[in-house]
Structure formats: C-alpha cells, structure tokens
Structure 1
C-alpha cells in the first residue's frame, strides 16, 4: 500500500530536470491552477453521480494537485508539503475551540458566525487593513459563488430580504430591465442588467438553501441527456440539422415525456 511519502517522491521525480517528465518540469503555479480547479469540479461531479469509485479516483487527482503546488513551492524556497499539513491542522484546531478547547457553541449557525469571526481576527493579526465585513472573500472563486458569499456576509448584519417573496419581485423587475435593454441595444447596459439578474437568481438559491453550482450541473446534465435523445430520435429523418424548430421541439417534448414515463415506472 502506497503512502503520502510515496506520492511526494513520485512528484519530486516527475519535477526533476534530470530524467523527470518534460511537461511536469515546465509547469508553474499559473499553468497548474486551472487543472486544480478542474479537478475540484470533477470531485463534485462524482459526488453528484454518487459514483464512489470515481470519487476515490478524483480525490486522488485533487490530492496530486496539492502535492504539485507544494513541490513547486519547495523548489522555490517558499514552503514544503509538511508546512501545508501543519498550517491546516493548526487552523482547524484554532477555528474549532468548541471541539478542541472546551468552548461552547449553540448550533451550526452560531458556529458559522464564530468561523467568520476567527477568520476576521486572523486577517487583523496578519496586519490586513481592510475592516469591511466583506473583506477576505476571494476574487478567484467562480463569480456565482462569490455572489452568494457577499450576500451571506451582508445578511449577518441584517442586510437581507426577510423572506423569499420580495426576492421574486426583484427577479421580475430585473427581467423587465433586461428586456428593456435588449430593445435599447446598449451592450454595456445589457451586460450590467444581466449581471443584476444573475445576482438575484443566486439570492433566490441562497434563500432556498440550494447550491447554485449543483443545480446548474443538474440542469446541464438534463439538457445534455434530452438533447442526445433528440439526436437518436432524429436519425431516421437525417438528423436535427435539417429539421424545423417545430420538429425539433416535438422531439424535445418526446424526450421529456420518455424521462417522465421512466421515472414513474421506477
């Protein structure tokens, strides 16, 4: 059975300019970062599909990304993999005093507030001067996720809709504004209004406690599944390309009906 030490040795060998892998040797933090993000999404996809064998494999790929970054950092004299482990262990103990230091926390919501308080104290200890409630929300995450975090932080001081009803009103308002900008033809204003519409959509998902990324992955999978079925149904007619939109819509409706029928039978 291999250990983490074996993985660290493999990574060092791959990065060795003398006999290592030319591709691995050429990489740096900037070139590897997109792969790190991709592997995280593949982990989420395996979880969505409840494919635990694939999840094991994808977690390995994600771990390899951590090892890759740590190896490059060690080569540059910044830190080692052991420092990464030490830092996260120390942080987890520090941010969970109710588990490791005898403190008390009422519930999960109280722990979330305490977590943000710990993070704020850590930023102050590092000498960061941004005292905004919104400080520390990474600009490197997907924008939908950053929107949700901005909204959640603001909500901690009461700047939030009391319930979802007015958020739906706001959604309809933003749709009307997008429609107006489509007619107006101003590309920059249209960009702005579509951004507002997406921001409100994230807010609805937050109130519903729905993960936007998971919901969109589900919608993408559903669209892909139904479109592929349409392609199958259109083979005898020479394919979708030669069909009218009405004919294509009929196949789409058929694909939907088949899904519903199959779900009913289960």
Structure 2
C-alpha cells in the first residue's frame, strides 16, 4: 500500500492528466470500475477479477490523495474509519459477551438499527428508506420495494403486481399521445418501477437480469459484426433485414 500511495503521489506531481483531476471529475471512474468488478466476477476469470479490484482500489487511493493535499484526510484515515465502523456495527462479533448468536437476517437488522442510531446522534432526519444506498437505479428500486414490503406495503400476489404494470403501461400510452417529454418520462419511470416490482416478487434481480440481457445482446451483435466481416461486408451498409437474419443465427448459436 505504501508503494501504491507513493506512485499516486508521484503521478499527481508529474502527470498532466492526473494533476488536472478533481474529486468530482473522478467519481464517474469509481462507478465504472465498480461495474467492471461486477463483470469480472460474473465472468469467473480470476486474473480479470484481480485486475479490476486493483483498478477500484486505485480510485480509493486517488481520491484519498487529493483530499490529503487539501489537508482534509488521507488514506490511513479512510482505513481507520472503516475499521471503526466495522467494529461498531458488529457488536455480536466484537462484544460477544453481551450478544447471543444471531442469524444472517438478524445481523442485517442489527446493522440497519445501528446505522439509524448513528444518524440520530448526528442530528440527521431518519427514514426507513435511508438505509437504501444511492446506487444503480434498478437496485435502488428493488431494495426500496423490499424494504416497504417488510411492513406490508406491497401487492399480495404477482398477478396484482402485473395488474399495476398494465395500468402504468396504459398511462404511458396516454402520455405518449400528449407528446409532453416530462410526462412521458414520468410514466416511463412508473412502468419500470412496476416491472421491477414484478421481478422482485418472482425472486428475480432486475439488475442481474438486465445485465444478463445486455451481455447476451453484446454477444449477438458481435456475431453479426464478425459474420459481416467474414463475408467482406460493411455492417454500416447492411439492411435491417440482413442483420435480423444474422441475429437469429446468433440466437441459435447461444442456445
């Protein structure tokens, strides 16, 4: 870690690109690297996982170095903060004398309870939904739905949830007729939210399902490109009908 921190400090002094970065300009890279980690883990390729974890770690070191330059905190402060938080939020591990053995679900409930207590101590307004992280929208939606479901704010069955999808779809149709962008966006979002709820009730992760579909699309489109190249054709000059034929071939290959 000391060697990595030293390299980062040198880059901030000597590399024009690294010098011009700010905490704000770098956040998008942290998000991208987190997704790269997910993709690598999904692939199961150990060397790729190791590589992407390193890229993600670099983002933490880079951000920490910029704040250290401002005299705010450094990488060691970041490490110490997470150590303190882990100990504080795992009393069943670090204070076993006062805690019985807990199940995984009870551990999660204890974690959330301690987070709420921490916010109250800081004088922050609390809500059940505060515990939902501001991550990918699909994941946020599913986590919010799961959270409120725990107190009974939920459709009774999958069929009931599907009825909501049809209702929102009809409202989207109406919004499209108005040609008002804000209304269309609003109703489109409602449709997505309703679909995610159906997936949740079917024990389907919307995030994972969509990522799987994206990967499938990437592979099929790559097949179209490769086949076109093998036939000495430019994909830009192919008709939609020609590409559809290759798309169907790609689907058969995947099966």
Please give the TM-score of this superposition, normalised by the length of structure 2.
0.88
Q: 2:252 is matched with which residue?
A: 257
Does 2:154 correspond to 1:154? no
Change (3 A) 1:237 1:69: closer
Does 2:22 correspond to 1:28? yes
The count of corresponding residues between Structure 1 and Structure 2 is 252
Q: 1:85 is matched with which residue?
A: 79
Separation of aligned partners in 1, 2:238 and 2:62: 49
Q: Which stretch shows the higher mean deviation, 46-55 or 5-14?
A: 5-14
Describe the superposition over 1:43-81 as per-residue Cα deviations: whole angstroms up to 9, x where unpaired. 111011111101101101111111111111111111121
The structure in which a higher percent of residues are helix is 2
Q: 2:128 aligns with which of 133, 147, 152?
A: 133
Describe the superposition over 1:157-186 as per-residue Cα deviations: whole angstroms up to 9, x where unpaired. 221233433222212222222233223433
- How much does 1:237 deviate? 8.3
Change (3 A) 1:5 1:243: closer
Separation of aligned partners in 2, 1:153 and 1:105: 24
Q: 1:217 is matched with which residue?
A: 211
Change (3 A) 1:116 1:162: farther
Change (3 A) 1:98 1:205: farther
Does the aligned pair in 2 maintain the 1:174–1:197 contact within 8 Å? yes
Separation of aligned partners in 1, 2:59 and 2:35: 13
Describe the superposition over 1:86-144 as per-residue Cα deviations: whole angstroms up to 9, x where unpaired. 1111111111122221223542222222221111111111111x1322235454x3322
Q: 1:62 is matched with which residue?
A: 56
Separation of aligned partners in 2, 1:243 and 1:234: 8
- How much does 1:155 deviate? 2.4
Gaps of 5+ in 1: 261-266
Q: 1:72 is matched with which residue?
A: 66
Gaps of 5+ in 2: none
Structure 1 residue matching 2:152: 3-state secondary structure:
coil
- How much does 1:41 deviate? 0.8
Q: 1:117 is matched with which residue?
A: 113
Q: 2:38 is matched with which residue?
A: 44
Describe the superposition over 1:2-48 as per-residue Cα deviations: whole angstroms up to 9, x where unpaired. xx1111111122223xxx22221221100111111111111111011
RMSD value, Cα: 2.2
Separation of aligned partners in 2, 1:180 and 1:237: 46
Does the aligned pair in 2 maintain the 1:137–1:146 contact within 8 Å? yes
- How much does 1:191 deviate? 1.0
Q: 2:104 aligns with which of 105, 108, 113?
A: 108
